[in-house]
Amino acid sequence: MTVGIVGLGLMGGSLARDLAAGTWRVQGTDRDPRTERKALAAGVIEGPIRIDEVDIVVLAVPVRSAPGWVRWLARELRRGGAVDGAVLTDLGSTKRSVMAAAEMTGLGARFVGSHPLTGDERSGWSASRTGLYQGATVWVCPLDTASPEAVDRVEALWRAVGAEPRRIDPAAHDRLMARI
């Protein structure tokens, strides 16, 4: 499997490190080109995301910017560049805005939200590390329109890094997170 990770900070960088240590091919991009160069030099990513090669795209970006990335990905996927059935997920702590963007852009069958319950106060590539997801619960939040294959693929991604995926309805997830 080939994953493209948008955002190589604590969360995205840690995911990239763990997947690259296994059998996954990892491509990545970050708003800071120096971060991309560091990840490449460390052998964590093969290079920038090539949308025509990825099976899964992970948005490891702030919640407020995730909908914009979904819209961009929808345009790229419509251009016919992606592998058939490429799946999208995010790592955000709330789901409403990113899920709405997925539905509005016609990506509801391909989008499965994720929320790993791990991390710390640090940020950036230098904070990323292997093992961050080991034993962590990851809420997997499929839309009603999500394909079973998309859900299975996202859960397989999390199992590959030692996490424990648990399904929850996106609205129930947001209500639960609002109480914490």
Backbone phi and psi for residue 58, each to the nearest 5 degrees, phi listed first:
-110, 125
Can you tell me which residue has the tokens 């240590």? Answer: 21
Mean pLDDT of the chain: 93
Can you tell me which residue has the tokens 């990113």? Answer: 98
Q: Which residues contact 71 (CB under 8 A, 6 or more apart)?
A: 101, 105
Pair type for strands 2-6 and 25-29: parallel
- pTM here is 0.94
More confident residue, 179 or 120: 120
Strands (E), the chain: 2-6, 25-29, 56-59, 87-90, 112-116, 137-142, 164-167
Does the domain spanning 2-179 belong to CATH 3.90.1010.10?
Answer: no
Q: Strand, helix or coil at 147?
A: coil
Predicted local confidence at residue 175, as pLDDT: 85
pLDDT tens profile 45-103? 999 998 889 999 999 999 999 999 999 988 888 776 555 678 999 999 998 999 999 99
Give percent of the chain above pLDDT 90: 80
How large is the angle between the packed helices 33-41 and 10-21, nearest 10 degrees? 20
Q: Which residues pair with 111 in a beta bridge?
A: 88
